[in-house]
Structure 1
Amino acid sequence: MELVTTHTHTCFTNHGEGTVEELVSAACAAGVSTIAVTEHYPLSEAFDPTHYVSMDAGRVDEYLAAIEAARKAHPEIEVIAGCELDWLGGDEDRDLSPEDFAPFGVVLGSVHFVDRWPFDDPAQRGRWDEVGADAIWRRYFEVWCEAVLSDAPFTVMAHPDLAKKFGILPSFDPQLLYEQAAEACAAAGRMVEVNTSGLHYACKEMFPAPALLAAFRRAGVPCTVGTDAHKPAHVARGIEQAYRLMAQAGYRTVTVPTADGDRREVTIE
Protein backbone atom coordinates (compact mmCIF):
# COMPACT_ATOMS: atom_id res chain seq x y z
CA MET A 1 0.00 0.00 0.00
CA GLU A 2 0.97 3.63 -0.23
CA LEU A 3 3.55 4.97 2.18
CA VAL A 4 2.88 8.46 3.49
CA THR A 5 4.62 10.74 5.96
CA THR A 6 3.16 14.09 6.90
CA HIS A 7 5.81 15.11 9.45
CA THR A 8 9.44 15.68 8.38
CA HIS A 9 12.29 18.13 9.00
CA THR A 10 15.40 19.47 7.29
CA CYS A 11 18.52 21.55 7.83
CA PHE A 12 16.41 24.72 8.01
CA THR A 13 16.74 24.36 11.79
CA ASN A 14 19.99 23.81 13.66
CA HIS A 15 18.90 20.39 14.92
CA GLY A 16 17.92 18.88 11.57
CA GLU A 17 20.03 17.48 8.75
CA GLY A 18 19.69 17.38 4.97
CA THR A 19 18.24 19.73 2.39
CA VAL A 20 14.66 19.61 1.20
CA GLU A 21 15.88 18.07 -2.06
CA GLU A 22 17.78 15.35 -0.17
CA LEU A 23 14.74 14.62 1.98
CA VAL A 24 12.36 14.34 -0.97
CA SER A 25 14.83 12.27 -2.97
CA ALA A 26 15.13 9.86 -0.04
CA ALA A 27 11.34 9.66 0.17
CA CYS A 28 11.13 8.78 -3.51
CA ALA A 29 13.78 6.09 -3.12
CA ALA A 30 11.82 4.61 -0.19
CA GLY A 31 8.59 4.44 -2.20
CA VAL A 32 6.76 7.20 -0.35
CA SER A 33 3.79 8.58 -2.31
CA THR A 34 3.08 11.70 -0.23
CA ILE A 35 5.43 13.74 1.92
CA ALA A 36 4.73 16.90 3.88
CA VAL A 37 7.85 18.89 4.66
CA THR A 38 6.98 20.45 8.01
CA GLU A 39 9.83 22.52 9.38
CA HIS A 40 9.44 24.11 12.81
CA TYR A 41 7.75 27.50 12.36
CA PRO A 42 9.84 30.41 13.69
CA LEU A 43 9.78 31.09 17.41
CA SER A 44 10.73 34.40 18.98
CA GLU A 45 14.19 35.15 20.33
CA ALA A 46 12.77 34.69 23.84
CA PHE A 47 11.92 31.04 23.14
CA ASP A 48 14.64 30.15 20.63
CA PRO A 49 17.54 32.61 20.72
CA THR A 50 19.92 30.41 18.68
CA HIS A 51 17.35 29.13 16.14
CA TYR A 52 18.16 25.64 17.30
CA VAL A 53 14.54 24.61 17.78
CA SER A 54 12.86 26.48 14.94
CA MET A 55 13.47 28.01 11.54
CA ASP A 56 14.85 31.53 11.28
CA ALA A 57 11.98 33.86 10.32
CA GLY A 58 14.13 35.34 7.58
CA ARG A 59 14.39 31.97 5.81
CA VAL A 60 10.71 31.12 5.36
CA ASP A 61 10.61 32.28 1.72
CA GLU A 62 13.80 30.32 1.00
CA TYR A 63 12.23 27.26 2.62
CA LEU A 64 9.06 27.53 0.54
CA ALA A 65 11.11 27.99 -2.63
CA ALA A 66 13.12 24.84 -1.83
CA ILE A 67 9.91 22.85 -1.41
CA GLU A 68 8.54 24.16 -4.70
CA ALA A 69 11.79 23.25 -6.46
CA ALA A 70 11.64 19.72 -5.04
CA ARG A 71 8.01 19.39 -6.10
CA LYS A 72 8.88 20.32 -9.68
CA ALA A 73 11.90 18.02 -9.71
CA HIS A 74 9.93 15.02 -8.44
CA PRO A 75 6.51 14.77 -10.11
CA GLU A 76 6.34 11.12 -9.04
CA ILE A 77 5.62 12.12 -5.42
CA GLU A 78 3.15 14.54 -3.86
CA VAL A 79 5.20 17.14 -1.98
CA ILE A 80 3.26 19.34 0.44
CA ALA A 81 4.62 22.55 1.95
CA GLY A 82 4.00 22.48 5.67
CA CYS A 83 5.22 23.61 9.05
CA GLU A 84 5.11 22.55 12.69
CA LEU A 85 3.61 25.29 14.85
CA ASP A 86 4.21 25.35 18.59
CA TRP A 87 1.22 26.14 20.78
CA LEU A 88 2.28 28.69 23.41
CA GLY A 89 -1.15 29.59 24.77
CA GLY A 90 -1.09 32.67 26.98
CA ASP A 91 2.66 32.91 26.51
CA GLU A 92 2.34 33.53 22.76
CA ASP A 93 4.58 36.45 21.82
CA ARG A 94 4.37 36.23 18.03
CA ASP A 95 1.99 38.35 15.96
CA LEU A 96 0.47 35.56 13.89
CA SER A 97 -2.20 36.00 11.23
CA PRO A 98 -4.02 33.68 8.79
CA GLU A 99 -1.93 35.13 5.97
CA ASP A 100 1.22 33.74 7.60
CA PHE A 101 -0.05 30.20 7.07
CA ALA A 102 -1.63 30.58 3.64
CA PRO A 103 1.42 29.00 1.88
CA PHE A 104 1.18 25.84 3.97
CA GLY A 105 -0.97 22.85 3.04
CA VAL A 106 -0.25 21.19 6.39
CA VAL A 107 0.18 22.88 9.75
CA LEU A 108 1.14 20.49 12.54
CA GLY A 109 -0.03 21.48 16.01
CA SER A 110 2.57 20.72 18.67
CA VAL A 111 2.88 21.17 22.40
CA HIS A 112 6.56 21.32 23.30
CA PHE A 113 6.21 24.03 25.94
CA VAL A 114 4.27 23.80 29.19
CA ASP A 115 4.16 27.21 30.87
CA ARG A 116 7.24 28.29 28.89
CA TRP A 117 9.18 25.15 29.87
CA PRO A 118 10.36 22.94 26.98
CA PHE A 119 9.51 19.77 28.88
CA ASP A 120 10.90 17.41 26.22
CA ASP A 121 14.32 19.08 26.04
CA PRO A 122 16.95 16.64 27.34
CA ALA A 123 18.96 19.57 28.69
CA GLN A 124 16.05 20.42 31.01
CA ARG A 125 15.16 16.86 31.95
CA GLY A 126 15.97 17.52 35.63
CA ARG A 127 12.80 19.53 36.17
CA TRP A 128 10.79 16.34 35.82
CA ASP A 129 12.27 15.20 39.11
CA GLU A 130 11.49 18.54 40.74
CA VAL A 131 7.85 18.84 39.59
CA GLY A 132 6.87 15.18 39.41
CA ALA A 133 5.40 13.14 36.59
CA ASP A 134 1.78 13.29 37.79
CA ALA A 135 1.60 17.10 37.72
CA ILE A 136 3.42 17.34 34.40
CA TRP A 137 1.19 14.78 32.70
CA ARG A 138 -1.99 16.50 33.90
CA ARG A 139 -0.76 19.93 32.88
CA TYR A 140 0.50 18.67 29.52
CA PHE A 141 -2.89 17.24 28.54
CA GLU A 142 -4.63 20.37 29.80
CA VAL A 143 -2.46 22.48 27.52
CA TRP A 144 -2.88 19.98 24.66
CA CYS A 145 -6.66 20.23 24.89
CA GLU A 146 -6.41 24.02 24.93
CA ALA A 147 -4.39 23.83 21.73
CA VAL A 148 -6.72 21.46 19.92
CA LEU A 149 -9.80 23.52 20.85
CA SER A 150 -8.18 26.83 19.89
CA ASP A 151 -8.64 28.70 16.63
CA ALA A 152 -5.04 28.02 15.63
CA PRO A 153 -4.68 26.82 12.01
CA PHE A 154 -3.70 23.26 12.93
CA THR A 155 -4.31 20.57 10.30
CA VAL A 156 -2.91 17.67 12.33
CA MET A 157 -2.10 17.37 16.03
CA ALA A 158 1.42 15.96 16.24
CA HIS A 159 2.77 13.36 18.73
CA PRO A 160 -0.26 13.65 21.06
CA ASP A 161 1.32 12.07 24.15
CA LEU A 162 4.78 13.62 23.88
CA ALA A 163 4.86 13.76 27.67
CA LYS A 164 6.02 10.13 27.68
CA LYS A 165 9.17 10.87 25.63
CA PHE A 166 11.60 10.22 28.49
CA GLY A 167 9.74 7.09 29.54
CA ILE A 168 8.51 8.80 32.71
CA LEU A 169 4.91 7.72 33.33
CA PRO A 170 2.38 8.96 35.88
CA SER A 171 1.49 6.95 38.95
CA PHE A 172 -2.17 6.97 37.88
CA ASP A 173 -3.98 5.43 34.92
CA PRO A 174 -3.99 8.15 32.22
CA GLN A 175 -7.12 6.79 30.51
CA LEU A 176 -9.26 9.73 31.63
CA LEU A 177 -6.71 12.12 30.11
CA TYR A 178 -6.82 10.07 26.93
CA GLU A 179 -10.61 10.26 26.74
CA GLN A 180 -10.58 14.01 27.32
CA ALA A 181 -7.99 14.47 24.56
CA ALA A 182 -9.99 12.35 22.12
CA GLU A 183 -13.22 14.19 22.88
CA ALA A 184 -11.53 17.57 22.39
CA CYS A 185 -9.96 16.49 19.11
CA ALA A 186 -13.25 15.15 17.78
CA ALA A 187 -15.10 18.31 18.81
CA ALA A 188 -12.54 20.47 17.02
CA GLY A 189 -12.55 18.35 13.86
CA ARG A 190 -8.79 17.94 13.97
CA MET A 191 -6.67 15.06 12.74
CA VAL A 192 -3.99 13.29 14.77
CA GLU A 193 -0.89 11.45 13.69
CA VAL A 194 0.81 8.24 14.59
CA ASN A 195 4.34 9.54 15.01
CA THR A 196 6.90 6.78 14.57
CA SER A 197 9.79 8.63 16.23
CA GLY A 198 8.74 7.55 19.71
CA LEU A 199 10.21 4.12 19.05
CA HIS A 200 13.65 5.74 19.12
CA TYR A 201 13.26 7.67 22.38
CA ALA A 202 13.37 6.36 25.94
CA CYS A 203 9.63 5.59 25.85
CA LYS A 204 10.26 2.99 23.09
CA GLU A 205 6.69 3.44 21.84
CA MET A 206 5.11 5.35 19.01
CA PHE A 207 3.09 8.46 19.76
CA PRO A 208 0.28 7.96 20.69
CA ALA A 209 0.13 4.97 23.02
CA PRO A 210 -2.20 2.18 21.86
CA ALA A 211 -4.85 3.10 24.44
CA LEU A 212 -4.83 6.75 23.37
CA LEU A 213 -4.95 5.81 19.70
CA ALA A 214 -7.94 3.56 20.42
CA ALA A 215 -9.65 6.46 22.19
CA PHE A 216 -9.12 8.65 19.12
CA ARG A 217 -10.58 5.92 16.93
CA ARG A 218 -13.68 5.52 19.14
CA ALA A 219 -14.19 9.29 18.99
CA GLY A 220 -14.00 9.24 15.18
CA VAL A 221 -10.79 11.25 14.93
CA PRO A 222 -9.04 10.84 11.53
CA CYS A 223 -5.46 9.64 11.77
CA THR A 224 -2.42 10.05 9.54
CA VAL A 225 1.23 8.98 9.88
CA GLY A 226 4.38 11.05 10.36
CA THR A 227 7.93 9.86 10.78
CA ASP A 228 9.18 13.12 12.32
CA ALA A 229 12.38 12.51 10.37
CA HIS A 230 15.17 14.96 11.14
CA LYS A 231 17.49 13.46 8.53
CA PRO A 232 16.76 12.02 5.07
CA ALA A 233 17.71 8.47 6.07
CA HIS A 234 14.78 8.38 8.50
CA VAL A 235 12.12 9.70 6.14
CA ALA A 236 10.18 6.40 5.87
CA ARG A 237 11.18 4.88 9.20
CA GLY A 238 8.37 2.88 10.79
CA ILE A 239 5.53 3.78 8.41
CA GLU A 240 4.31 0.23 7.86
CA GLN A 241 4.58 -0.49 11.58
CA ALA A 242 2.43 2.59 12.21
CA TYR A 243 -0.21 1.22 9.85
CA ARG A 244 -0.27 -2.01 11.85
CA LEU A 245 -0.69 -0.04 15.07
CA MET A 246 -3.60 1.86 13.53
CA ALA A 247 -5.24 -1.39 12.38
CA GLN A 248 -4.93 -2.84 15.87
CA ALA A 249 -6.71 0.25 17.22
CA GLY A 250 -9.57 -0.30 14.77
CA TYR A 251 -8.65 2.11 11.98
CA ARG A 252 -9.30 0.85 8.47
CA THR A 253 -7.92 3.84 6.58
CA VAL A 254 -5.06 6.30 6.85
CA THR A 255 -6.17 9.88 6.28
CA VAL A 256 -3.79 11.87 4.09
CA PRO A 257 -3.92 15.67 3.87
CA THR A 258 -3.50 17.06 0.37
CA ALA A 259 -1.73 20.19 -0.87
CA ASP A 260 -5.04 21.95 -1.56
CA GLY A 261 -6.22 21.54 2.03
CA ASP A 262 -8.45 18.54 1.39
CA ARG A 263 -8.06 14.96 2.66
CA ARG A 264 -8.00 11.56 1.04
CA GLU A 265 -8.16 8.05 2.46
CA VAL A 266 -5.77 5.14 1.94
CA THR A 267 -7.07 1.71 2.89
CA ILE A 268 -4.94 -0.17 5.41
CA GLU A 269 -4.20 -3.55 3.90
Structure 2
Amino acid sequence: MELITTHTHTCFTNHGEGTVEELVSAAAAAGVATIAVTEHYPLTDAFDPRHYLAMPEQRVGEYLSAIDKARAAHPEIEVIAGCELDWLGDDDDRDLTAEDLSPFQLILGSVHFVDRWPFDDPAQRGRWDEVGADDIWRRYFEVWCEAVSSDAPFQVMSHPDLAKKFNFYPSFDPQPLYDRAAEACAAAGRMVEVNTSGTYYACKEMFPAPALLATFRRAGVPCTVGTDAHKPEHVARDIERAYRLMARAGYRTVTVPTADGDRREVTIEL
Protein backbone atom coordinates (compact mmCIF):
# COMPACT_ATOMS: atom_id res chain seq x y z
CA MET A 1 0.00 0.00 0.00
CA GLU A 2 1.14 3.54 -0.75
CA LEU A 3 2.94 5.17 2.18
CA ILE A 4 2.30 8.83 3.04
CA THR A 5 3.29 11.16 5.85
CA THR A 6 1.90 14.67 6.08
CA HIS A 7 3.60 15.80 9.28
CA THR A 8 7.41 15.99 9.56
CA HIS A 9 10.11 18.26 11.00
CA THR A 10 13.76 19.17 10.46
CA CYS A 11 16.69 21.03 11.98
CA PHE A 12 14.97 24.33 11.22
CA THR A 13 13.75 24.12 14.82
CA ASN A 14 16.11 23.65 17.73
CA HIS A 15 14.34 20.46 18.79
CA GLY A 16 14.57 18.73 15.41
CA GLU A 17 17.41 17.07 13.54
CA GLY A 18 18.36 16.61 9.91
CA THR A 19 18.15 18.83 6.87
CA VAL A 20 15.17 18.94 4.52
CA GLU A 21 17.24 17.03 1.96
CA GLU A 22 18.09 14.32 4.50
CA LEU A 23 14.43 14.03 5.49
CA VAL A 24 13.12 13.78 1.93
CA SER A 25 15.93 11.41 0.93
CA ALA A 26 15.07 9.12 3.86
CA ALA A 27 11.40 9.21 2.91
CA ALA A 28 12.15 8.29 -0.69
CA ALA A 29 14.40 5.43 0.44
CA ALA A 30 11.61 4.13 2.68
CA GLY A 31 9.15 4.06 -0.22
CA VAL A 32 7.07 7.03 0.88
CA ALA A 33 5.04 8.41 -2.05
CA THR A 34 4.01 11.75 -0.51
CA ILE A 35 5.71 13.75 2.23
CA ALA A 36 4.70 17.10 3.66
CA VAL A 37 7.53 18.96 5.35
CA THR A 38 5.71 20.90 8.06
CA GLU A 39 8.09 22.88 10.23
CA HIS A 40 6.73 24.77 13.23
CA TYR A 41 5.68 28.25 12.11
CA PRO A 42 7.53 31.05 13.94
CA LEU A 43 6.41 32.17 17.38
CA THR A 44 7.32 35.39 19.14
CA ASP A 45 9.68 35.55 22.08
CA ALA A 46 6.67 35.78 24.38
CA PHE A 47 5.76 32.20 23.51
CA ASP A 48 9.16 30.80 22.57
CA PRO A 49 11.73 32.67 24.67
CA ARG A 50 14.32 29.89 24.29
CA HIS A 51 13.86 29.77 20.50
CA TYR A 52 13.31 26.06 20.92
CA LEU A 53 9.74 25.39 19.84
CA ALA A 54 9.49 26.97 16.40
CA MET A 55 11.40 27.96 13.30
CA PRO A 56 13.00 31.43 13.47
CA GLU A 57 11.12 33.97 11.36
CA GLN A 58 14.27 34.97 9.50
CA ARG A 59 14.74 31.40 8.24
CA VAL A 60 11.36 30.90 6.58
CA GLY A 61 12.69 31.81 3.13
CA GLU A 62 15.65 29.48 3.55
CA TYR A 63 13.29 26.71 4.64
CA LEU A 64 11.03 27.10 1.59
CA SER A 65 14.07 27.18 -0.70
CA ALA A 66 15.37 23.95 0.85
CA ILE A 67 12.03 22.26 0.14
CA ASP A 68 12.13 23.44 -3.48
CA LYS A 69 15.64 22.02 -3.88
CA ALA A 70 14.66 18.68 -2.32
CA ARG A 71 11.61 18.46 -4.57
CA ALA A 72 13.76 19.02 -7.65
CA ALA A 73 16.28 16.43 -6.48
CA HIS A 74 13.64 13.77 -5.80
CA PRO A 75 11.07 13.65 -8.59
CA GLU A 76 10.14 10.13 -7.45
CA ILE A 77 8.30 11.50 -4.39
CA GLU A 78 5.68 14.23 -3.99
CA VAL A 79 7.10 16.89 -1.66
CA ILE A 80 4.65 19.37 -0.15
CA ALA A 81 5.80 22.62 1.45
CA GLY A 82 3.92 22.97 4.71
CA CYS A 83 4.01 24.29 8.23
CA GLU A 84 2.53 23.50 11.63
CA LEU A 85 0.74 26.59 12.89
CA ASP A 86 -0.03 26.97 16.58
CA TRP A 87 -3.48 28.14 17.58
CA LEU A 88 -3.06 30.83 20.23
CA GLY A 89 -6.56 32.29 20.17
CA ASP A 90 -6.95 35.75 21.66
CA ASP A 91 -3.39 35.51 23.02
CA ASP A 92 -1.85 35.45 19.56
CA ASP A 93 0.60 38.35 19.29
CA ARG A 94 1.50 37.67 15.66
CA ASP A 95 -0.11 39.85 13.01
CA LEU A 96 -0.47 37.06 10.48
CA THR A 97 -1.75 37.82 7.01
CA ALA A 98 -2.83 35.65 4.09
CA GLU A 99 0.37 36.71 2.36
CA ASP A 100 2.48 35.37 5.24
CA LEU A 101 0.94 31.92 4.87
CA SER A 102 0.50 31.84 1.09
CA PRO A 103 3.83 30.04 0.38
CA PHE A 104 2.65 27.00 2.32
CA GLN A 105 0.78 24.31 0.44
CA LEU A 106 -0.36 22.58 3.64
CA ILE A 107 -1.06 24.13 7.02
CA LEU A 108 -1.44 21.89 10.04
CA GLY A 109 -3.38 23.27 12.98
CA SER A 110 -2.02 22.46 16.43
CA VAL A 111 -2.92 23.20 20.02
CA HIS A 112 0.27 23.18 22.07
CA PHE A 113 -0.71 26.08 24.33
CA VAL A 114 -3.54 26.28 26.83
CA ASP A 115 -3.89 29.83 28.12
CA ARG A 116 -0.28 30.60 27.10
CA TRP A 117 1.05 27.49 28.84
CA PRO A 118 2.87 24.96 26.58
CA PHE A 119 1.28 22.01 28.34
CA ASP A 120 3.21 19.36 26.37
CA ASP A 121 6.65 20.87 27.02
CA PRO A 122 8.59 18.47 29.26
CA ALA A 123 10.26 21.45 30.92
CA GLN A 124 6.86 22.61 32.20
CA ARG A 125 5.36 19.23 32.99
CA GLY A 126 5.17 19.98 36.72
CA ARG A 127 2.17 22.26 36.24
CA TRP A 128 0.03 19.20 35.56
CA ASP A 129 0.32 18.36 39.25
CA GLU A 130 -0.73 21.87 40.21
CA VAL A 131 -3.77 22.17 37.93
CA GLY A 132 -4.91 18.57 37.66
CA ALA A 133 -5.73 16.45 34.63
CA ASP A 134 -9.51 16.99 34.79
CA ASP A 135 -9.30 20.77 34.33
CA ILE A 136 -6.53 20.54 31.74
CA TRP A 137 -8.39 18.02 29.60
CA ARG A 138 -11.58 20.07 29.66
CA ARG A 139 -9.74 23.27 28.79
CA TYR A 140 -7.62 21.58 26.13
CA PHE A 141 -10.65 20.31 24.22
CA GLU A 142 -12.37 23.67 24.62
CA VAL A 143 -9.38 25.38 23.02
CA TRP A 144 -9.15 22.64 20.37
CA CYS A 145 -12.77 23.20 19.37
CA GLU A 146 -12.11 26.95 19.20
CA ALA A 147 -9.20 26.28 16.86
CA VAL A 148 -11.06 23.93 14.56
CA SER A 149 -14.07 26.26 14.40
CA SER A 150 -11.99 29.37 13.73
CA ASP A 151 -11.27 31.01 10.39
CA ALA A 152 -7.60 30.03 10.61
CA PRO A 153 -6.37 28.34 7.40
CA PHE A 154 -5.90 24.91 8.96
CA GLN A 155 -6.35 21.96 6.59
CA VAL A 156 -5.42 19.19 9.03
CA MET A 157 -5.75 19.21 12.82
CA SER A 158 -2.67 17.56 14.28
CA HIS A 159 -2.48 15.07 17.18
CA PRO A 160 -6.06 15.77 18.35
CA ASP A 161 -5.68 14.38 21.88
CA LEU A 162 -2.21 15.68 22.64
CA ALA A 163 -3.34 16.21 26.23
CA LYS A 164 -2.60 12.54 26.92
CA LYS A 165 1.10 12.87 25.99
CA PHE A 166 2.43 12.51 29.54
CA ASN A 167 -0.05 9.71 30.32
CA PHE A 168 -2.19 11.98 32.51
CA TYR A 169 -5.87 11.17 32.03
CA PRO A 170 -9.05 12.65 33.51
CA SER A 171 -11.03 10.90 36.20
CA PHE A 172 -14.14 11.12 34.01
CA ASP A 173 -15.10 9.49 30.71
CA PRO A 174 -13.72 11.74 27.95
CA GLN A 175 -16.26 10.57 25.36
CA PRO A 176 -18.37 13.75 25.62
CA LEU A 177 -15.21 15.74 24.85
CA TYR A 178 -14.57 13.48 21.88
CA ASP A 179 -18.12 13.97 20.63
CA ARG A 180 -17.82 17.76 20.71
CA ALA A 181 -14.43 17.68 19.00
CA ALA A 182 -15.69 15.46 16.19
CA GLU A 183 -18.84 17.52 15.71
CA ALA A 184 -16.81 20.74 15.49
CA CYS A 185 -14.28 19.23 13.10
CA ALA A 186 -16.96 17.84 10.80
CA ALA A 187 -18.81 21.16 10.75
CA ALA A 188 -15.60 23.00 9.85
CA GLY A 189 -14.70 20.59 7.06
CA ARG A 190 -11.23 19.98 8.45
CA MET A 191 -9.21 16.80 8.40
CA VAL A 192 -7.50 15.06 11.31
CA GLU A 193 -4.42 12.91 11.36
CA VAL A 194 -3.31 9.70 12.95
CA ASN A 195 -0.02 10.83 14.42
CA THR A 196 2.28 7.89 15.03
CA SER A 197 4.61 9.70 17.43
CA GLY A 198 2.36 9.14 20.44
CA THR A 199 3.54 5.57 20.73
CA TYR A 200 6.95 6.89 21.79
CA TYR A 201 5.72 9.18 24.56
CA ALA A 202 4.55 8.23 28.04
CA CYS A 203 1.01 7.58 26.78
CA LYS A 204 2.32 4.74 24.56
CA GLU A 205 -0.53 5.30 22.12
CA MET A 206 -0.89 7.02 18.78
CA PHE A 207 -2.84 10.25 18.54
CA PRO A 208 -5.83 10.06 18.54
CA ALA A 209 -6.96 7.28 20.85
CA PRO A 210 -9.02 4.55 19.17
CA ALA A 211 -12.26 5.82 20.71
CA LEU A 212 -11.64 9.36 19.49
CA LEU A 213 -10.62 8.16 16.04
CA ALA A 214 -13.81 6.11 15.79
CA THR A 215 -15.79 9.19 16.84
CA PHE A 216 -14.19 11.22 14.05
CA ARG A 217 -15.01 8.45 11.58
CA ARG A 218 -18.67 8.33 12.64
CA ALA A 219 -18.84 12.11 12.17
CA GLY A 220 -17.46 11.79 8.64
CA VAL A 221 -14.14 13.54 9.34
CA PRO A 222 -11.45 12.65 6.76
CA CYS A 223 -8.20 11.29 8.18
CA THR A 224 -4.61 11.36 7.02
CA VAL A 225 -1.38 10.04 8.58
CA GLY A 226 1.65 11.90 9.91
CA THR A 227 4.73 10.52 11.59
CA ASP A 228 5.65 13.84 13.24
CA ALA A 229 9.25 12.83 12.60
CA HIS A 230 11.87 15.08 14.16
CA LYS A 231 14.70 12.93 12.79
CA PRO A 232 15.11 11.61 9.22
CA GLU A 233 15.26 8.01 10.47
CA HIS A 234 11.74 8.37 11.89
CA VAL A 235 10.15 9.71 8.71
CA ALA A 236 8.26 6.52 7.84
CA ARG A 237 7.88 5.14 11.36
CA ASP A 238 4.71 3.11 11.93
CA ILE A 239 2.76 4.37 8.90
CA GLU A 240 1.31 0.93 8.22
CA ARG A 241 0.38 0.57 11.90
CA ALA A 242 -1.51 3.84 11.56
CA TYR A 243 -3.41 2.42 8.58
CA ARG A 244 -4.41 -0.58 10.69
CA LEU A 245 -5.62 1.72 13.46
CA MET A 246 -7.71 3.63 10.93
CA ALA A 247 -9.17 0.40 9.55
CA ARG A 248 -10.19 -0.76 13.02
CA ALA A 249 -11.93 2.58 13.53
CA GLY A 250 -13.93 2.00 10.35
CA TYR A 251 -11.98 4.06 7.82
CA ARG A 252 -11.64 2.52 4.38
CA THR A 253 -9.45 5.21 2.85
CA VAL A 254 -6.59 7.49 3.87
CA THR A 255 -7.08 11.08 2.74
CA VAL A 256 -3.95 12.68 1.31
CA PRO A 257 -3.59 16.46 0.94
CA THR A 258 -2.06 17.50 -2.37
CA ALA A 259 0.24 20.36 -3.28
CA ASP A 260 -2.55 22.22 -5.09
CA GLY A 261 -4.74 22.30 -1.98
CA ASP A 262 -6.96 19.42 -3.04
CA ARG A 263 -7.29 15.95 -1.52
CA ARG A 264 -7.02 12.43 -2.87
CA GLU A 265 -7.97 9.08 -1.39
CA VAL A 266 -5.85 5.98 -0.94
CA THR A 267 -7.69 2.73 -0.26
CA ILE A 268 -6.54 0.99 2.92
CA GLU A 269 -5.24 -2.44 1.91
CA LEU A 270 -4.02 -4.63 4.76
Q: Which bin holds the TM-score, normalised by the shorter protein?
A: over 0.9
SS at match of 2:172: coil
Tell me, which stretches of 5 or more residues in structure 1 are unaligned?
A: none
Corresponding position: 1:82 with 2:82: yes
What corresponds to 2:54 in structure 1?
A: 54
1:149 CA displacement:
0.2
Q: Which runs of 5+ in 2 are unaligned?
A: none
Q: CA deviation at 1:50?
A: 2.7
CA distance in 2, matches of 1:238, 1:170: 27
Count of paired positions? 269
Partner of 1:220: 220
Q: How does 1:102-117 map to 2 (within 5 A)?
A: 102-117=102-117
Partner of residue 120, structure 2: 120
Q: CA separation in 2, counterparts of 1:99 and 1:161?
A: 30
Question: Where does residue 70 of structure 1 map in the other structure?
Answer: 70
Secondary structure in 2 matching 1:255: strand
Distance, in Å, in 2 between the alignment partners of 1:31 and 1:260 is 22
TM-score normalized by the length of structure 2: 0.99
1:25 alignment partner in structure 2: 25
Per-residue Cα deviation, 1:192-216 (whole angstroms, up to 9, x for no partner): 0000000000000000000000000
**Runs of 4+ in structure 1 over 4 Å off:** none
Partners of 1:206 and 1:215 lie apart in 2 by 15
Q: Which residue of 2 aligns with 1:254?
A: 254
- Give secondary structure in 1 for the equivalent of 2:224: strand
Distance 2:248 2:102 in 1: 36
- 2:148 maps to 148
The alpha-carbon deviation at position 99 of structure 1 amounts to 1.1
- Counterpart of 2:133, as a letter, is A
Secondary structure of the 1:38 match is strand
**Secondary structure of 1:141's aligned partner:** helix
- Give distance in 2, aligned partners of 1:17 and 1:126: 26
Partner of 1:192: 192
Report the CA distance between 1:105 and its aligned residue.
1.0
Letter in 2 for 1:33: A
Structure 1 residue 71, shift from structure 2 partner = 0.3
TM-score of the two chains, using structure 1 as the length reference: 1.00
Deviations 1:154-202 (A, max 9, x none): 0100000000000010000000000000000000000000000000000
Offset at residue 100 of structure 1 (A): 1.1
